[in-house]
Structure 1
Amino acid sequence: MPQKAMDAAPNPPVPNWLREQTGLGAAAGTAAKRRWHKLEVMAAIETRLLILGAVMMFEPVNGYQVLRELRSWDIEEWAKIKPGSIYSVLRTLTKNGSVIRHEVDEGARTVSVYVTTAQGRAEFHRLFSEALREPDAMAPIPAHTAWLLLLLVTREDFLSSLDERIRRSEKLIEESEQQLAAGIDAPEHIIEVARMWHAKATLELEWSKSMADRIRAGEFAFAGEPLTWQPPPNDPGWQMMEDQQRYRSILGLDETVR
């Protein structure tokens, strides 16, 4: 191509994936609003997923136990969930039928104890699958949350969601590689930020593939499988297990009620 024609040829437009991440272009306001809305939706997913998962893990369980357990996971730091919001979410989950609240007498006080319903367990698995399947460099917390709760799903279900995440990640990375190679009409520092996201996505993809291979080889413990780790003797989880059995006896629940 003659130099004059090369000088006149415009750079490729900013691709949608970069426009949404950076807010570039004429539709910056709309893209930013869509982006923030998606982040808000994903934050709601991880909060419900965490709290439903904690109830499923220890049910019947009281609200303070859920709070204490999740605080031991440092959720205030990485998930930005305030302790007070846990009780609010438990009330919402009770109202929408995801959990049932039972009042249990403990000496001079009454304690609210929570058990998931079939609807709540179905909702957990839906949220879990959604969180793990959807790759997003700017919203990694839902997937991290799913990894923390893998004990509650079967090996087959986890692999199904992880394989879908890998497939979607490969597609997104291929698209970004093509767009970066073609050149983008954006400031250099914005392009470098895009390269950083691309590098992170590539690293996370390779890690996911490695984990999928290890899971297929039988590593880690999933729902219905023997546990491979136990907490130390002084861990509060042991008291929670004792309380769980006591609550089950009081409420007349057998081990099949999960």
Structure 2
Amino acid sequence: MSVTTTRLLLLGAVGLFEPVNGYQIRRELLSWRVDEWASIKPGSIYHGLRSLADQGLMSAQTVADGGRDVVVYQLTDAGRAALEDAIVSAVVDVNVFDRHAFQAAFGLLPMLGGERAEDALRRRRAAVRQSIPEILPPEGSNPYAPPHAVRSLELWKSFAEVELHWLDGVLDDIGAGRLDFDGTGRWAQPADDPGYQMMDDRERYRAELGGRRD
């Protein structure tokens, strides 16, 4: 899996829950099943977080948590800018043979806000529509192409056509008010969602970090 997708997922997960510790990020990302569709190895998550901190895209600070010390991560201003740029790029830069980065970015679109999210999706729809005629070579242009290879490209073309239809539906839902990326929709976090524990931890981490003078 490309570094771009891994980086996007790590920046996005930290941005959603910061300040947050590495174990929580690992648990959250595995609940998204990134080990299956993004081929991210669970053990690589900790290394990725440390690497992004070394690059100045996250801060890494040690706090006391239940009698033990844990490292918690927060995005820096540079990290937040990098995340937003990565989300937009993953949506608008179309690769009809690899949608992993887009899959990651779509789940993070609320971090852009409604207007930017919709604009990025419209740009993607235009790019997908433009790409479809380019997937298959013109009929008869390559008489040496094996028939089974042409049939394989037809499958990729079908995937792109399905995505175009799906994007039409997403944008229709946005226009009709059935879907939004501003946090004003009807969905609410269930009372038994384990993510509430992360919210409690976040408030404790914020309180400790806010009281520091270093």
TM-score normalized by the length of structure 1: 0.76
| Runs of 4+ in structure 1 over 2 Å off | 174-177, 179-185, 216-221, 225-235
1:209 to 168, 184, 204: 168
Q: How does 1:74-223 map to 2 (within 5 A)?
A: 74-176=33-135, 179-185=137-143, 186-223=145-182
Separation in structure 2 between the aligned mates of residue 161 and residue 102 of structure 1, nearest angstrom? 34
Deviations 1:132-182 (A, max 9, x none): 1122232111111111112222111111211111121122113346x3445
CA separation of 1:107 and 1:187: change in aligned 2, threshold 3 A: closer
Q: How does 1:3-42 map to 2 (within 5 A)?
A: none
Structure 2 match to 1:22? none
Q: What are the ranges of 5 or more consecutive residues in structure 2 without an aligned counterpart?
A: none
Conserved 8 A contact 2:58-2:79: yes
Structure 2 match to 1:233? 191
Structure 2 match to 1:67? 26
Aligned-residue sequence identity (percent) comes to 39
TM-score normalized by the length of structure 2: 0.91
Q: Write the letter of the residue equivalent to 1:226.
A: T
Structure 2 match to 1:245? 203
Conserved 8 A contact 2:174-2:180: no
Q: How does 1:38-57 map to 2 (within 5 A)?
A: 43-57=2-16
Conserved 8 A contact 1:155-1:215: no
Separation in structure 2 between the aligned mates of residue 232 and residue 71 of structure 1, nearest angstrom? 19
Deviations 1:100-153 (A, max 9, x none): 011111243111111111110110011111111122232111111111112222
Deviations 1:76-98 (A, max 9, x none): 11111011111111001101111
Separation in structure 2 between the aligned mates of residue 108 and residue 102 of structure 1, nearest angstrom? 16
Is the partner of 1:102 in helix, strand or coil? strand
Deviations 1:38-67 (A, max 9, x none): xx6xx2111111111110111111111101
Q: Write the letter of the residue equivalent to 2:61.
A: H
Q: Write the letter of the residue equivalent to 1:114.
A: Y
Separation in structure 1 between the aligned mates of residue 129 and residue 166 of structure 2, nearest angstrom? 13
Q: Write the letter of the residue equivalent to 1:74.
A: R
Separation in structure 2 between the aligned mates of residue 148 and residue 250 of structure 1, nearest angstrom? 30
Q: What are the ranges of 5 or more consecutive residues in structure 1 without an aligned counterpart?
A: 1-39, 254-258
Larger Rg: 1
Q: Write the letter of the residue equivalent to 1:61.
A: V
